[in-house]
Chains A and B, each alone.
Chain A
Amino acid sequence: MVERVRVKAMMPPGHVRAPAYLRGKQGVVERPLGAFHNPEQLAYGLPAEKKPLYRVRFRMDELWGDAAENPGDTLDAELYDHWLERL
């Protein structure tokens, strides 16, 4: 089953691994990757709980609109669960 998600459009300060160009964009879960220690805490030497990580696939026209070279090309990125909202 295709799981559609949107990357939360939040802009928190500090070290995060969700690139700004993906925030607010919609994609589908390509595969779950398991749980990894949260880099947003690891980066500061804090105890880091494990968070589920997913590979999310975006269409280029979703990311770049009319500027996309080929709308059906795709971009996959790894995003932590707390950055995703289910649609």
Chain B
Amino acid sequence: MMKKVLAKCYLWLLLAMLYAPLLFIAVFSFTESKVLGSWTGFSTKLYQNLFTGGVSGGSALLAAVENTLLIALIAAAFSTVLGTVAAIGIHNLKGRKKQTVQFLNNIPMINPDIITGVSLFLLFVFLGVSQGYATVVLAHITFCTPYVVLSVLPKLSQMNPNIYEAALDLGATPAQALRKVLIPELRPGMISGFILAFTMSLDDFAVTFFTRGTVGLDTLSTYIYTDARKGGLTPELRPLMTIIFLLVLILLVVINIRQDRANKKVKR
């Protein structure tokens, strides 16, 4: 009993440490004060500013959020297609060839962001490509795709290879067999790959920083970086952080409940 109380205390202490800064930001998103930490009464003005693109740099902030989401969406979509096709190919490779491709696939995951960023920066310089939106998306696809490949591969090995052949024997064209048999089997892997790729892209800072060029393209990460270096932190960032925090929380709770239900179904 004593042990249990101690264990619980330890967990909650660590969690308190992990969440204190986030809660602090959330609390001070409900006051108008420009300076963080001074409470000037309850107000939702910062939230209004954020959504109406009001005064202090709100519109630049909104543009950065838009870029972040759009880049993540495009990169995740491309990665899912490229990664799924690649996984089907890798699954059918054998021996040395298979090992080599899997090794190459692991490199972007092992490399720290800064290496990925610098190496791609040098590539674009070397090829003489002017950097901007397209290079950022390409860079994101580069570090997102391996996660899709790794999410889809297990589904391929779990799958019964005979169903696909059976579909062909029963007169389905390869395209039909792909659409009606293979894709539905791989869908869970593709979805978790997509979600992983999407969040990886949302989280990225270093790779974007090195591949965005000088055209003034900002994602949320690079916006925060530039903003913090200037000294003053845009107050509208506080409600934005709070909203993102809540969205992630809700998303994870939903995923959790769905998984719980799925597990219970299996048990029955």
A binds B: no
